[in-house]
Amino acid sequence: MAYDTRLVERADLGADVAALILTNFTDGFALLPGGLHQTVSRDDDADVDEALTLRVRGAQPDPDVPVGPDDLATRLQTFDRYVQAINDSRFNPAYGVWLRTQAGETYTRQAFITDIPKTWRVPIHDTPGAVGGTIKAFEFSLKRRPLWESSDIITDVLDWPYGGPGSTYSWGYASLMGGRNGDAPARIARLILTPGNLRRLWIGFDNSLAGPTDNYMIRTWTNHNGTTAVYPGGGSNYDNEDYAQTNFTDGSDLLRAAGGFVDPANPPAGGQYQVLARLSLSDGSTQALVRTALGYTGDDVTTLPFTQRFLVSSANPMFYPLMIANLPPVKSSSGNVFSNLRLFINAQRIAGAGQLRIDHAIFVPMRKGYIFLEGLSGNQVVVQNLPSGDWTAHEISGGAVTRAVAVSGWGGIPTGSDDHVYAVGAGDRGTDSQITDTMTCTIYNYARWRTMRGAQGNQE
């Protein structure tokens, strides 16, 4: 049951380089009683302010000689080394200073220091304190990341497409992850991705008591608006080897709509999702404007608010982001509140004589954490959620960065027991999608806590 607070200098994902213990005068500093009232934030992202009151006692190289101002200076010089490291980390947040603490808990926890005040005051000109080599109350404040994290890495390896029921390959199945402790999503310190043929990809993390199923996908469609959705044999490049198809027949301006259920037995929970659909046209000279709406069985599709239209003009199947869906908060006595939820895809042909093909739709969860990458070239990609909270992504070849890549990243990997934490992934080639494409990624992440860690290890 250790009570310990220290500054630790280290690289993210690396070992400790140096430490300054701020308790028990081990390194000359001691937290005063009431000297740290820990700040807790409900926000996962905004930095929090922390204030420490310390007593400082000069170093005593010779026990027979009383400590004096020079000995005190030695202590402050050690402290100021960490100040310099914090300054430097504002330009390179992959290396910096953590506030590591243990309030009597079994395990330590640490939070990255993002900033310190421009100035602070130290009563070194007080006598007899300075003459005696002590500062009674050294007040210091800092900004740190809001969540405490473990200093030990969890490593996960994920593969897509995950071979789910009914299909050898299909984008959108959830890939299982080991359970992890903590009470806030784990930080994805580094994700190393081998994208293969993929040029853009979506990964969303979620947890569920039910474990992974295909409840993030829509694989069958029904017709709406007086049209007949048909289900021809789609060939091996379509999920379940089939797709729904519009029946534009008489002119180019008729609206056609198809609706699909998320698996009624295992509908998604309320929350926020990036909805994708794998769409193609029967020939390359046809163009269709497509829009989408969420509704329920029995809804008149014409009365739903639809999203903005987008153009589909390629005969290659591809993923199209349809909407960011917010499933409303609803409480039902019998569970499965969203078993009647439908995604409507509404299309209008504006050129050509072909048909729109709808393969399957995916609800990529956004609630806990997500990553979106595009413009990849096939090289290995390293995505980092830096200790400062910034996200970066770089392509790497032969161990050297070849270019910076734009990344949309947020949150992390949710907590949960084994088999109940998973990631939904989808990817395509940017101008084409082959269902046999695969990708592999290794994620190095840190479990995180909001207030105390206690006796929790990293993983369950």
Partner 1 sequence: MIGEPQELPTLDIFDPAGNTHFGNLVTEAGDTWQHTTRRRGGNWSAAFELTRNRDRLIELFYNGLNYLVTRRLFSQDVWSGFIAEMTLTYKRATYKRSILDTAWRINAQRSAEPFANAVRVKYQRTFDSLVVNPSCESAAWAAYNGATVTRDATYVTDGSWGCKVVVADTAIRGATIQAAIAVAAGRKYDVTLDVNVTAGSWRISCNRADTDESLCFWSSRGATGILPVKMEIPETNQYAGNVDFRITAEAAAGTLYADNAIFREQTQNDADTGWLLDAASIAQYGRIENIVQMQEMSAINALALANQILRTTAWPRTQLPGRIDFGGAAATDIKLHINILGLIHSYRQLTTLQGASTKSAVISALAPLSSRPNKIAIMPNTEAYSVVQSAGTASKIWTVMDDVARSGDVASDYWRCGVFGRSFVYEPVSPAIEYALQNGELQRVDKSRVNPWLVQPGLIALADLPEAVKSATGRTLDVPNRALVDEVSYTRGRLTLTLA
> Footprint of partner 1 on this chain (CB under 8 A)?
43-45, 90-91, 200, 202, 204, 253, 272, 274, 276, 289, 294, 302-306, 308-311, 321, 323-324, 326-329, 348, 350, 364, 366, 370, 372, 374-375, 388-392, 403-411
HSE (CB half, 13 Å, CA atoms) of 90? 10
Q: How far, in Å, CA of 358 to CA of 24, rounded? A: 67
Tell me how long the chain is: 460
For residues 421 and 424, which CB has a smaller minimum distance to partner 1 in the complex? 424
- Closer residue to partner 1, CB minimum distance, 130 or 288: 288
d(CA 277, CA 262): 13
Q: Pick between residue 228 and residue 308 the one whose CB is nearest to partner 1.
A: 308
Q: Which is nearer to partner 1, 218 or 364 (CB)?
A: 364
Q: How far apart are the first and last CA of the chain?
A: 21
Shortest distance in whole angstroms from residue 216 CB to partner 1: 14
What's the closest the beta carbon of residue 373 comes to partner 1, in angstroms?
A: 9
Query: Which are the contacts of 98, defined by CB distance < 8 A and separation ≥ 6?
Result: 7, 8, 9, 10, 110, 111, 112, 113, 151, 387
| Residue 51 or 406 having the CB closest to partner 1 | 406
The number of beta carbons lying within 10 Å of the beta carbon of residue 417 is 15
Q: Cα(50)–Cα(144) distance, rounded to whole angstroms?
A: 7
- Alpha-helical runs (H) found in 40-108: 69-89
Identify which of residues 132 and 409 has a Cβ nearer to partner 1 in the complex.
409
Nearer Cβ to partner 1, position 162 or 370? 370
Closer CB to partner 1, residue 35 or residue 295? 295
Q: How far apart are CA 452 and CA 62, in angstroms?
A: 39
Least distance in angstroms from the C-beta of 246 to partner 1: 17
- Using the minimum distance from each CB to partner 1, give the nearer residue, 43 or 64: 43
Q: What is the secondary structure of 305-343 as a DSSP string?
A: PPPPPEEE--SS-EEEEEEEEEE-----TTS-TTTTEEE
At closest approach, how far in Å is the CB of 295 from partner 1? 9
Q: How far is the CB of 401 from partner 1 (least distance, A)?
A: 12
- Smallest distance, partner 1 to C-beta of residue 296, A: 9
Measuring CA to CA, how many Å separate 27 from each of 19, 30, 71, 111, 371? 9, 8, 12, 20, 42
- Smallest separation (angstroms) from partner 1 to the CB of 139: 23
Query: Shortest gap between Cβ of 11 and partner 1 (angstroms)?
Result: 19
| Smallest distance from partner 1 to CB 21, Å | 30
For residue 423, give Cα distances in angstroms to 158, 165, 179, 188, 265. Answer: 8, 17, 12, 13, 20
Q: Which of these, 41, 151, 42, 44, lies nearest to 368 by C-alpha position? A: 44
CB neighbours of residue 58 within 10 Å: 22
Cα 171 from Cα 317, distance rounded (Å): 12
Q: Which is nearer to partner 1, 305 or 398 (CB)?
A: 305
Instruction: Compare residues 56 and 198 and give the one whose CB is closer to partner 1.
Output: 198
Answer positive or negative: Cα dihedral of 281, 282, 284, 286. Answer: negative
Q: For residue 319, what are its two tokens?
A: 């993923």
At closest approach, how far in Å is the CB of 274 from partner 1?
A: 4
d(Cα 380, Cα 422) in Å, to the nearest integer? Answer: 22
Q: Which letter does DSSP use for residue 206 in this model?
A: E
Nearest in space to 260 (alpha carbons), one of 310, 309, 222: 222
Shortest Cβ distance from residue 10 to partner 1 (Å)? 21
C-alpha span between 454 and 135 (Å, rounded): 32
